Amino acid sequence: MPKDPAQDTFVEKLIANIIKNLEVTVTNIHIRFEDNVTNPKKPFSVGVTLREFSLRVSLIIVAYFIPFFI
């Protein structure tokens, strides 16, 4: 049975907010291909290199007010 979102804790809401606003950037990742089966006398390889990897989070934190009585 799914949990009621209204009962989520502050930490659960914060983690959900982070995941919703997560931006992942991968640039120039290294991928290598090797082939020594097609022509064993002349093996072939080619590759590309990772230049940048970044994670960015933009957060909007909403104040949580808990009513109480004295």
In a domain, 11, yes or no: no
In a domain, 42, yes or no: yes
In a domain, 38, yes or no: yes
Half-sphere exposure of 34 (CA within 13 A, CB side): 2
Distance separating alpha carbons of residues 70 and 59, to the nearest angstrom? 34
Distance separating alpha carbons of residues 45 and 35, to the nearest angstrom? 6
Q: For the chain, how many structural domains are there in total?
A: 1
In a domain, 40, yes or no: yes
In a domain, 32, yes or no: yes
- pLDDT computed for residue 31 by the predictor: 85
Please give the residue range of the domain that contains residue 30: 23-56
Spell out the per-residue pLDDT of the chain, length 70, in tens.
566 666 778 888 878 877 887 888 888 788 899 999 988 899 999 998 888 888 887 755 555 544 444 4
Task: Using a cut of 0.75, tell me whether the model's pTM lies above it.
Answer: no
Nearest to 28 by CA among 42, 59, 14, 49: 49
| 53, 23 contact by CB (below 8 A) | no
In a domain, 31, yes or no: yes
